[in-house]
Structure 1
Amino acid sequence: MDDHENEQHRAGDTTPPETGPARRWTAWRPGHRLRRVGVVLALLAVTLGGIVVGTYAGGHVGTDIGPFRAELKLSPSLTGGTTVDIPPLGALLLDSHDGPAYLTVEVGALDQGRTEALIDDPASISRASQSAVEDVRAGVMRLGLKTLASAVLATLLLAALVFRDVRRTAWAGGLALVVTAGSLGLGAATLRPQAIEEPRYEGLLVNAPAIVGDARRIANDYTKYAEQLQRLVGNVSKLYTTVSALPVVQPSPGTTRVLHVSDMHLNPTGWQLIRTVVEQFGIDVVIDTGDITDWGSEPEASFVGSIGLLKKPYVFIRGNHDSPRTAAAVAQQPNAIVLNNSVTTVGGLTIAGIGDPRFTPDKETSPAGSGLTSAVADQVIGAGEQLATTVGKSPRKVDVALVHDPASAGPLSGLAPLVLSGHTHSRQVSKLPQAPGKQPTTLMVEGSTGGAGLRGLEGEKPTPLTMTVLYFDQQKLLQAYDEITVGGTGQSQVNLERHVIRDPAKGDQVPVTPTPTRGPSESPSPSSSATSPSPTTTG
């Protein structure tokens, strides 16, 4: 007997139970229909809830894309699409597919081991770029399978708790399988690879069109540059090997070798060049006179992680593109020293430095090399005066003073024999006006070690990458310096010019016979040759 018959029997009702059409009507009377509709709605709600919970809980996987560790995530969505987070530049929003699944790709920090392997073997950069697409495809496949399994499992658990019925739990699990697989299939079926050509920007990338102009041309140039990077590094190594045979480049055992870099502007290529020069030239200390980043934002802080790979003392001052959080990120590196109106001793050299008093990353408000307004000039010169006071009070004689903008160097005349700066993206060596009875002071302005970053691609001729190796004798006086210049994006020319100072007090130099050098290729060519010309007199 069914429930209705049992109730009649317990009540003493001897009326025969309904049969045939009457019974079917009883089964489908309005109350029963509402109950069945409620069960179906509850089943759908539990299934959708389980899918959402399972997707958020398990819809993510980690994968390696080249030297990067990336996190792939799926989340429910009404419209579909993809977000690619690329620190420190920001994010790309792509209309990549339809359907109720949204993909997020978060590119994490560099893996130290894989990064070192890429630096040690430049050819692996090409292999990594070729495998990147396959890495992403494999990661997305694993993500889809994991999301499917997680959604079904979460739905089964939720249905078992709600219904406590095996049949309804199985229905919920099967429905979750169909809905999740169908959503993923819809995304795959509506995939639009061409969406990568028309992204929307977020974060720092919003400023990209205004900063760099034609993005496609720059992308093509940068690809060309990456292809020639191995040749560039080889040229630098060959240059040092050849030039080191000259009598003037045999540094004495007590020589301190300092590498001066400046204005990296987020160009990752600069790090590989720095690493090569540090190793090939036996650098003792690296000095960075600022603008290591472009906008001083928190995502850009990850760029400074390569400092630790150098394994040499790294002395840094802020530029006008570096924020306090940039300086803090540099200070966290195990080998870094950040100076801000302070003095330190590294490698036997006493170094004083102060950061740029401005924070003006916007190109429109502070173009490199632009003239200074009266208020800004007072601010910049005031920074030099602050450092001059600190140098004057230092118990130890300061050998090198650091400022970002050469306009800050004037007050340091006579207080230190050498002042290093950057900011203008143009290399220059000159003497500061000498006060009577004061020691002469040389001002060395570095170009851009990062080729001015993306900004360096704006002109017809890319900005070259520059850095300078400084040689200090046992008395910590500058005796010689090598100016290294690497052709900008798309170029592979490398030049090294050596300048040898005989008497720092007079600025005299030893004449050197020009010695031709050749890059790693057996025959010289306009794109892969370099020369070591006769030294020019330091002004």
Structure 2
Amino acid sequence: MRRALAILAVVLAGVAGGSAALGLYTYERELSVGTVHLESDLGHEGALDLYVPLVDWGVRFGSVRLPVRLRVDVRTIDRVAAVRLGEAGRVDVDAVRDEAAEAVEGYIRRVVVAVFLVALLAAGLVAAAIRGRRWRWSAVAAGATAVACAGAIVAWLPPRGDMTSPEFYAHGPEVPRALEAVQGVAASAAALSDELDAQLVGLARLVTAPGTRVAVTGLPRVTIASDLHNNLVSLPTLESAAAGGPLLFVGDLTDTGAPIETSLTRRVVRAGKPFLFVPGNHDSDVLLSRLVREGAIVLGRSGRLLESGERGDVVVRVGPLRVAGYDDNDIRLRAENYADRYERPTEDETRAFADWLRPLIGKVDVVMVHNPDLLRISIAEMQASPPAGPIVFAVGHTHFPSAERPAPTVTVVNGGTVGGGGTGNLDDALAVGLGQLTYSADPFTPITADLVEIDPGSGSSRAERLRLDAQP
């Protein structure tokens, strides 16, 4: 019995070590079309994924027999290849597959070696800890386990199944339009930022009735943005608008919530000091934990998300501001393969938000919530009985900027879509939009809500200011 238990411990250690090596090992290779990044994502139905995050296009082949998703992410794209692809008007799946084949083979060769060595090391350490006559059998078990782990990779990880019926995900049919849009916007990125600056300066110079309203010069402000949808081209514009101040990002930072999008968009955390975030229906549980590690303040109905995974205070202070956030009900989950879970908020969900908000009224200045439909019951209650002090709701989701005062002390600000709807909504021709809230502190008093929209195609822009320090 002891010998059997010893051998079982060695085998389990070897399998755990081999699995860890498979999940952690990554490989990058330069191809004629760009740079590809390969890794294996454990715990999924076996598949080969090809994904191009720049244009949010992916194709999946169910051809891997291990419970592993073999991912080939195209991190950079050669400009000549991109133009050629855009002119073709379609995606040649066979050509993409052939380009990736050699890189996949190189990755598998290396990961087999890594799995063998780590499995042997893990099993060997356990075997070495076993003394007496069982050592010989434990050592044999360690070697056999390492060989078996490597053999399983060789036999079952290479794509060998049916590859004639791929499954497209993300926005494959829109690749040519995406390339065209990215090229056009990238060429005018500096112009976008200049136009944004000009509009904000113009807003600051608006003339108000003397003696009746507070001047906004020198007052603190926060930037309100949402719905980037993985459009990295808009990041410089967002950074310019925040200007090193607080940034409230109200959901849909990514488009599918997949890990590759998370790694590419986490630089947005540096746009705000601090960067506050609540998730939308296009964000994922993986994104939240990674943003926290990057230094973001991630808020939810249960409180601020901590690096440990636990929750902290529901209301956090950003300078003089007291801010709370309500996470979206339909965020994407890694365990569900980042599937779209969006449904319009139900009566029970809007009531749950109202129940959560009531105890916070008077204790919070700004509430961040992605979907404004959740506010319906709360707004009706505040219209019937306005709060004694001001409260501002920062929302997103609709992709259209707006600022309104549904009650004397209640303001709802929607910055629109800072990503122009993202690469998945090119047909909508949405403008890049964001908002800014200027306020005075001690006590908190909102002064202005500014909205800026810029058409990335024509460069035309529109700015609007709502004064909040006067009776509606």
**Cα offset, 1:132, TM superposition:** 9.5
| Residue of structure 1 equivalent to 2:370 | 404
Is the Cα contact below 8 Å between 1:380 and 1:407 reproduced in 2?
A: no
1:319-398 equivalence runs, <5 A: 319-341=280-302, 342-359=314-331, 366=342, 372=344, 376-392=345-361, 397-398=363-364
CA distance in structure 1 between the partners assigned to 2:405 and 2:272 by the alignment? 33
| Residue of structure 2 equivalent to 1:452 | 421
SS at 2:469 equivalent: strand
| Residue of structure 2 equivalent to 1:263 | 227
Is the Cα contact below 8 Å between 1:87 and 1:302 reproduced in 2?
A: no
Structure 2 residue 424 is the aligned partner of structure 1 residue 424: no
| Residue of structure 1 equivalent to 2:16 | none
TM-score by length of 1: 0.51
Which amino acid letter does the alignment assign opposite residue 381 of structure 1?
A: T
Is the Cα contact below 8 Å between 1:487 and 1:494 reproduced in 2?
A: yes
| Residue of structure 1 equivalent to 2:262 | 301
For this pair of structures, how many residues does the alignment match?
Answer: 328
| Residue of structure 1 equivalent to 2:191 | 231
Is the Cα contact below 8 Å between 2:331 and 2:341 reproduced in 1?
A: no
CA distance in structure 1 between the partners assigned to 2:220 and 2:194 by the alignment? 24
Is the Cα contact below 8 Å between 1:403 and 1:420 reproduced in 2?
A: yes
1:101-120 equivalence runs, <5 A: 106-107=73-74
CA distance in structure 1 between the partners assigned to 2:274 and 2:350 by the alignment? 28
| Residue of structure 1 equivalent to 2:118 | none
Is the Cα contact below 8 Å between 2:199 and 2:463 reproduced in 1?
A: yes
1:10-21 equivalence runs, <5 A: none
Structure 2 residue 199 is the aligned partner of structure 1 residue 206: no
1:316-355 per-residue CA deviation (whole Å, 9 max, x = no partner) reads 1111222222222222222433333421111210011111
TM-score by length of 2: 0.58
| Residue of structure 2 equivalent to 1:469 | 436
Distance 1:214 1:335, change over 3 A: closer
| Residue of structure 2 equivalent to 1:492 | 459
CA distance in structure 1 between the partners assigned to 2:417 and 2:224 by the alignment? 11
| Residue of structure 1 equivalent to 2:274 | 313
Distance 1:311 1:289, change over 3 A: closer
Correspondent of 1:286 among 240, 247, 264: 247
Structure 2 residue 219 is the aligned partner of structure 1 residue 251: no
Which amino acid letter does the alignment assign opposite residue 402 of structure 2?
A: Q
Which amino acid letter does the alignment assign opposite residue 223 of structure 2?
A: L
SS at 1:458 equivalent: helix
| Residue of structure 2 equivalent to 1:166 | none
Which amino acid letter does the alignment assign opposite residue 208 of structure 1?
A: H
CA distance in structure 1 between the partners assigned to 2:353 and 2:393 by the alignment? 11
Distance 1:271 1:202, change over 3 A: farther
Is the Cα contact below 8 Å between 1:93 and 1:201 reproduced in 2?
A: no
**Cα offset, 1:218, TM superposition:** 3.5
Identify the range of structure 1 (320-329 vs 378-387) with the bigger mean alpha-carbon deviation: 378-387
SS at 2:438 equivalent: strand
Which amino acid letter does the alignment assign opposite residue 309 of structure 1?
A: R
CA distance in structure 2 between the partners assigned to 1:457 and 1:315 by the alignment? 27
Is the Cα contact below 8 Å between 2:185 and 2:233 reproduced in 1?
A: no
CA distance in structure 2 between the partners assigned to 1:306 and 1:285 by the alignment? 15
CA distance in structure 2 between the partners assigned to 1:497 and 1:337 by the alignment? 29
Greater length-normalized contact order (CA 8 Å, ≥ 6 residues apart): 2
CA distance in structure 2 between the partners assigned to 1:338 and 1:472 by the alignment? 22
| Residue of structure 1 equivalent to 2:10 | none
| Residue of structure 1 equivalent to 2:7 | none
1:453-512 per-residue CA deviation (whole Å, 9 max, x = no partner) reads 1233124xx011110011011232110122110114x33112222233332xx13xxxxx
Structure 1 unaligned regions, length at least 5: 1-59, 74-81, 95-103, 111-124, 134-139, 152-198, 508-539
Is the Cα contact below 8 Å between 2:402 and 2:414 reproduced in 1?
A: yes
| Residue of structure 2 equivalent to 1:185 | none
**Cα offset, 1:252, TM superposition:** 4.3
1:114-129 equivalence runs, <5 A: none
Distance 1:457 1:471, change over 3 A: same
Distance 1:344 1:200, change over 3 A: farther
Which amino acid letter does the alignment assign opposite residue 445 of structure 2?
A: L
CA distance in structure 2 between the partners assigned to 1:61 and 1:242 by the alignment? 47
Is the Cα contact below 8 Å between 2:204 and 2:217 reproduced in 1?
A: no
Structure 2 residue 454 is the aligned partner of structure 1 residue 482: no
Which amino acid letter does the alignment assign opposite residue 216 of structure 2?
A: P
SS at 2:176 equivalent: helix
CA distance in structure 2 between the partners assigned to 1:491 and 1:418 by the alignment? 33
Distance 1:444 1:93, change over 3 A: closer
SS at 1:259 equivalent: strand
CA distance in structure 2 between the partners assigned to 1:363 and 1:268 by the alignment? 22
**Cα offset, 1:232, TM superposition:** 1.4
CA distance in structure 2 between the partners assigned to 1:220 and 1:379 by the alignment? 43
Distance 1:442 1:71, change over 3 A: closer
CA distance in structure 1 between the partners assigned to 2:164 and 2:226 by the alignment? 32
